[in-house]
């Protein structure tokens, strides 16, 4: 039994943090499902920027959709939905076997809407309806405007992957939005079962803190924040409020570890996967990390329910002058800005390809 299967048996889902057309057409994603117990997939604007911009695999589809009059965001979402609905179908057996807990893929709304709650709500509903797949999450960032959109989308019955969370406080804000949305559905006589996950980004903490702290804290802060957040997650699941919703049929909003590829070349390439093994969670990882963990990863211990040494690590961080609350807010804003930059580059690249692929003499 390889390490990926051991994680699955522990109760942690392993999802792939990547999507390309060649992953689908080559049978690679199907192999990951079969051999590495991969049961879901996440995408984001940066992933699609690389997938479309650095490959000719989308050229025929770009030519076809552009010829039908599609351009800009509309053309991108045609391409993305072609990939993600196909991936969703590959994961449908895992979705059905788990009763809708696992087997999901994710599509992000335009990151340019990060501060526009009303347009985010409309975009989430529209994209989910177009996908017509029960196992497709719409990703909404956990920004202040996004929190409102998350609650409203859950109330409307749209499954949501809350992205760009960087702290326990940001996670709890997203979890509260999810709970409010479900409570409103119950009060309105609607089905309480609407799926959601909350994605906490981990390794970006260590990249940001590397120049701010002494070597003794290197590659420890992200795991400390994750451990602290995991404790809050388990406490929420033990609360009377959650038990009331669960009794009404609500589904757990599982905690998802994102940004778990090792950024420090001097650290183990399976660092965050091994450190964050925990039941009732998800770890979404890049292909390189998946291959490394399948080859030589180990499931050594389960994440501490009581938070381990997370508070001590963060206290030491503060003594060195790092304001972790302020840094969490900065990381969220930088993450949103980075996705916006990728989004614009993605649309520019699609436009350039559309023009290059247009038949001679076409407008």
Q: pLDDT digit string (tens) for 22-77? A: 999 999 999 999 999 999 999 999 999 999 999 999 999 999 999 999 999 999 99
Predicted confidence (pLDDT) per residue in 252-287, tens digit: 999 999 999 999 999 999 999 999 999 999 999 999
Helix (H, G, I), strand (E, B) or coil at 351: helix
pLDDT at 363 over 60: no
User: What pTM, to 2 d.p., does this model score?
Assistant: 0.96
Which helix (H) or strand (E) segment is 13 a member of?
Answer: strand 12-17
The DSSP H or E segment spanning 278 is: none
Q: Rounded mean pLDDT of 2-21?
A: 95
Burial class (CB in 10 A: 0-12, 13-18, 19+), 339: buried
- pLDDT mean over 331-343: 96
Task: Tell me the pLDDT tens digit for each residue of 172-225.
Answer: 999 999 999 999 999 999 999 999 999 999 999 999 998 888 888 999 999 999
Read off the pLDDT band of 1 (50, 70, 90).
low
Tell me if residue 158 falls in helix, strand or coil. coil
210-214, 245-249, 323-327: the lowest-pLDDT one: 210-214
pLDDT tens digits for range 143-155: 999 999 999 999 9
Q: Write down the mean pLDDT value for the chain.
A: 95
Q: How confident is the model at residue 306 (pLDDT cuts 50, 70, 90)?
A: confident
pLDDT digit string, tens, across residues 344-361: 999 999 999 999 998 754
Higher pLDDT, residue 121 or 309: 121
Confidence (pLDDT) at 361: 45
Q: List the one residue out of 26, 142, 144, 24 whose CA is nearest residue 84.
A: 24
| 3-class state of residue 283 by DSSP | strand
Active site residue 139: yes
The share of the chain scoring above pLDDT 90, in percent, equals 93
Q: What is the pLDDT of residue 360?
A: 58
Q: Which of 139, 288, 300, 353 is catalytic?
A: 139
Position 359 scores a pLDDT of: 77
Cross-strand bridge partners of residue 42:
17
Q: Are 117 and 146 in contact (CB under 8 A)?
A: yes
Domains located in the chain, CATH noted: 3-203+253-302+336-356 (3.20.20.70)
Over pLDDT 70: what percentage of the chain?
99
Instruction: Tell me the DSSP string of 9-77.
Output: HHTEEEEEE---HHHHHTSHHHHHHHHH-EEEEE--HHHHHHHHHT-STTHHHHHHHHHTT--HHHHHH
């Amino acid at each position: 039994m390889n390490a990926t299967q051991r994680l699955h048996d522990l109760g942690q889902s392993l999802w792939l943090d990547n999507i390309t057309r060649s992953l689908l057409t080559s049978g690679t994603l199907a192999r990951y499902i079969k051999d590495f117990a991969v049961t879901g997939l996440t995408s984001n604007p940066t992933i699609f920027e690389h997938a479309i911009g650095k490959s000719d695999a989308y050229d025929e589809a770009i030519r076809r959709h552009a010829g039908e009059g599609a351009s800009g965001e509309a053309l991108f979402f045609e391409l993305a939905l072609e990939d993600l609905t196909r991936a969703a179908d590959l994961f449908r057996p895992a979705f059905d076997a788990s009763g809708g807990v696992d087997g999901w893929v994710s599509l992000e709304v335009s990151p340019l809407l990060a501060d526009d709650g009303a347009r985010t709500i409309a975009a989430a509903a529209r994209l989910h309806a177009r996908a017509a797949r029960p196992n497709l999450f719409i990703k909404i960032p956990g920004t202040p405007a996004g929190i409102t959109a998350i609650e409203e989308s859950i109330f409307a019955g749209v499954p949501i992957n809350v992205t760009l969370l960087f702290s326990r406080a940001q996670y709890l804000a997203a979890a509260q939005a999810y709970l409010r949305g479900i409570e409103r559905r119950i009060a309105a006589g609607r089905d309480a079962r609407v799926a959601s996950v909350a994605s906490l980004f981990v390794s970006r903490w260590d990249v940001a803190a590397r120049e701010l702290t002494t070597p003794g804290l290197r590659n420890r802060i992200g795991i400390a924040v994750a451990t602290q957040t995991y404790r809050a997650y388990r406490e929420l699941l033990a609360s009377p409020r959650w038990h009331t919703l669960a009794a009404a049929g609500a589904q757990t909003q599982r905690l998802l570890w994102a940004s778990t590829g090792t950024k420090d070349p001097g650290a183990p390439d399976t660092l965050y996967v091994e450190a964050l093994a925990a039941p009732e969670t998800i770890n979404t990882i890049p292909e390189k990390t998946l291959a490394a963990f399948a080859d030589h990863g180990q499931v050594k211990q389960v994440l501490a329910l009581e938070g381990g040494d997370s508070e001590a690590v963060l206290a030491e961080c503060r003594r060195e002058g790092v304001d972790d609350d302020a840094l969490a807010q900065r990381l969220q804003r930088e993450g949103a800005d980075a996705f916006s930059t990728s989004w614009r580059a993605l649309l520019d690249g699609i436009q350039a390809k559309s023009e290059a692929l247009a038949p001679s003499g076409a407008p």
